[in-house]
Amino acid sequence: MVRNIVVLGGNSHPDLVQSVANILGVPPCNRILTKFSSGESRCEIQDSVRGKDVYIIQTGFGGNGSKLNDHFMDLCIMISACKTGSARRVTAVLPLFPYSRQPDLPYKKSGAPLFKGGSENGKMDYTFESVPATPAPDLPRTLGLTNGSDITNRLAKTTSLPNGTSAGAMSPVKPINGESYLGANGQGVATPGYTTHDYENMSHVGAFQAKPGYKQWVAQAGTLVANLLTCAGADHVITMDLHDPQVQGFFDVPVDNLYGRPLLKRYIQTHIPNYKDAVIISPDAGGAKRATAIADSMGMDFALIHKERRPTKITDRQNATMMLVGNVADRVCILIDDLLDTGNTITRAAKLLKKEGATTIYALLTHGVFSGDAISRVKASAIDKIIVTNSVPQDEHKALLGPRLDVLDISPIFAEAIRRVHHGESISVLFNYD
Amino acid sequence: MSAEMANEIKLISGRSHPELSEKIAKRLGIEVARTVSLNYSNQETSFTVGESVRDEDVFIVQSTATGDVNEGLMELLIMISACRTASARRITAVIPNFPYARQDKKDKSRAPISARLVANMLQTAGANHIVTVDLHASQILGFFSVPVDNLYAEPSFLRYIRENFNTEDCVIVSPDAGGAKRATSIADHLNTAFALIHKERPRPNVVGRMVLVGNVEDKIAILVDDMADTCGTLVKAAAVLKENGAKSVLALVTHGILSGNAIETLNSSVLSALVVTNTVPLGDKVQRCPKLRVIDLSPTIAEAIRRTHNGESVSYLFTHAPV
């Protein structure tokens, strides 16, 4: 039992809130958090927060009929409500930090433009070269899948989709796909299947063309989100496995970045037979550090997949765009990454590993967002077992993927972090036991 | 010659109300800037500017659509922030219907003052100037430390009444005490009678008992308010006015939010017409509700943008509606 702590939960992940509150031995704070019929969020905190240490848990995940931006605004409103309600300190707990993955810029740092032929878009089968769906006026369009639909459903949907928008009629201000993003009935977002990687594909936004001579400017929302949280009144932020650790530097308030690594390591030790003989793989160079940290501490071999994004006049694309550094023949492979969004990177990596002779492929990820076609893609992939944490709700994904998906519980880590922050104890010792 | 180079208006439109942006752009004789907003499959909003805004005078038009307020607000914040980091000289957020305007006070313990939060967020994102229309409470201006131009739909309403009715037959009615000032102002300009309805409101979005103060017998009663949400108040007020002998009842409302069952409520009400402005995207509501009339407010907004850009006074627009 901890006194003076208030655990307040948003709508994005009620299960996590409940289990963190249970571990801390405090009931979650009573609150009303709904929407007015006009669409504005309505928030009322029903328990006193005066002089209390408030922890607001809201993960950056929209799905199951809810929207990410709604959750984020709710979080800001809750923070502000607690602040005006004289809370002593307000800590925003974001297991998955929204907007932490900055979009890939359309141009490389060297300035070389990245053009990809539009012809490879719109493939229906998940092949090695499958890229996330990028609808454009003249291409077959894939609407973003809600996680519940299966692939046949999706194909049916795609073929029946009227493709009437001509390039000329499409002006930049019109909603993409000619469909309003405002679901008139308020439920179910029409999410086009764009991913943060779409900026590699110049055709990604249909008729949209930058003015001649101007390189388009893509909003990088990470700093904004950090500023908005502090502006709402957050005194402290707790999150887990930030995609870019630099995001920590966007804040003027303390940020505790927890690691999912110990959980993943324990899973490897307890669930993978003969894990010492397995190889840890990083699916891209960016995650190499994360993966080597695990490999080193456990004395395991390490390999890396190098993604070549610069198109080099490819005929045999498969070999040119991805190469494996290391040996995996006849071994168990463990892919380590921080985030699974559309699942493109990880499934492509798995495919390559199978080709190189891997026997069994495990994929361990901290955040399993499974957006867009991810579920179908993972189902069709060579991954034998995929392991994620419950930083975002996993019930639906579990139902769809069945025994192929294992979910690790992060609520003890967050509960312990909250307890330690509250008592002013060190957080770093949480991650020193290896 | 001034030291600074002359800059241009860049009009950027969000996804919530492209029609309004187009009308404003047309009025200003410019084109809407090449930008694109989209949602990734993980629902994060992305925004791309396709032309230089460096050292330009940027105006971002974003209304907030009914049912999707947070989506529109977040998009607006990202647009502002993107223009800020792209070195725009000045960023003006044109928000015809200010979101969360009704949550402007701590009316219960631990209730959020969301309007103030929105004001702070806009400034945090980098807005240098705000243009809005008929704020629910003018005190919201005090939440900002940047200039806010609060435009009025009143001149457009006055013209509508003068063009469509004989003002001597009319009586202007305020559906609640809070709107009395707005209604009396119109009544004074038209030189007509004024009445007021007093209501008790037990819970939000629920309307209690209503009492009419004033005489509406054999007159055309014109209800005036700043927003019509579920229309419960308006329809009940209209019924009270009819009971008190009004010949016909119509309503003039700036922001037609029309959420929930508003359209059905309106269609089955005694209101002969609901006149709204196009500050809120109405979608197919005009087709679904034959009683709905729309006044175009884009000339007023466009003129405010032009005057702001040129450094001219905007107060002329408080009393005159550009044609």
A238 and A362 in a single domain? The answer is no
In a domain, A423, yes or no: no
From the list A69, A101, A217, the residue facing B70 with the nearest CB is A69
Residue A150: the pLDDT is 39
- Predicted confidence (pLDDT) at residue A351 exceeds the cutoff of 70: yes
A208 touches B at CB < 8 Å: yes
pLDDT at residue B108 in the model: 87
Q: What is the pLDDT of residue A309?
A: 57
- pLDDT value of position A103: 65
Distance from CA of B3 to the nearest CA of A (A): 26
Tell me which H or E stretch contains A386.
Answer: strand A385-389
Q: How far apart are CA B97 and CA B103, in angstroms?
A: 13
The CATH number of B9-151 is 3.40.50.2020
Sheet bearing B57-61, strands edge to edge: B9-13, B57-61, B90-95, B129-133, B148-151
ipTM: 0.92
Q: What is the mean pLDDT of residues A102-125?
A: 42
Residue A376 in any domain: the answer is yes
Taking the Cβ of residue A77 and every Cβ of chain B, the question of whether any pair is shorter than 8 Å is answered with yes
Any idea where the domains of chain B sit in the sequence? 9-151, 154-295
Q: Which CATH number covers residue A381?
A: 3.40.50.2020
Residue of chain A with shortest Cα separation from B102: A40
pLDDT for residue A14 is more than 70: yes
% pLDDT > 70, chain A: 71
pLDDT score at A432: 66
B212 forms beta bridges with B197
Please check whether residue A338 touches B, CB under 8 A.
no
A381 and A288 in one domain? yes
DSSP secondary structure string for all residues of B1-38 = --SSPP--EEEEE-SS-HHHHHHHHHHHT--B--EEEE
Which residue is listed with tokens 């704070």?
A29
Residue A429, in any domain of the structure: no
pLDDT at A269 over 60: yes
Distance, CA of A180 to CA of A194 (rounded, Å)? 16
Does A370 lie in the same domain as A351? Answer: yes
Q: What is the pLDDT of residue A135?
A: 42
Question: pTM to 2 decimals?
Answer: 0.85
Strand, coil or helix: what is A44?
strand
A70 lies within 8 A of chain B by CB: yes
Which of A250, A243, A299 minimizes the C-alpha distance to A275?
A299
Domain count, chain A: 3
Q: Partners of A387 in the beta sheet?
A: A364, A406
Give the pLDDT band of residue A429 (cuts 50, 70, 90).
Answer: confident
Instruction: Indicate if B154-295 has the same CATH topology as B9-151.
Output: yes
Contact list in A for residue B16 (CB cut-off 8 A) is 182
CA–CA min distance A88, chain B (Å): 13
Tokens 């929930």 correspond to: B260
Residue B64 has a pLDDT of 87
CB A260 within 8 A of CB A410: yes
In sequence order, which residues have a C-beta less than 8 Å from that of residue B82 and are 6 or more positions away? A217, A218, A219, A220, B47, B49
A328 found inside a domain = yes
In a domain, residue A430? The reply is no
- Contact state of B111 with A49 under an 8 Å Cβ cutoff: no
What is the extent of the structural domain holding A276? Answer: 261-408
Judge whether A135 is closer than 8 Å to chain B, CB to CB: no
CATH architecture, range B154-295: 3-Layer(aba) Sandwich (3.40)
Give the separation between CA A104 and CA A200, rounded to whole angstroms: 7
Taking the CA atoms of chain B, what radius of gyration do you get in angstroms?
A: 20
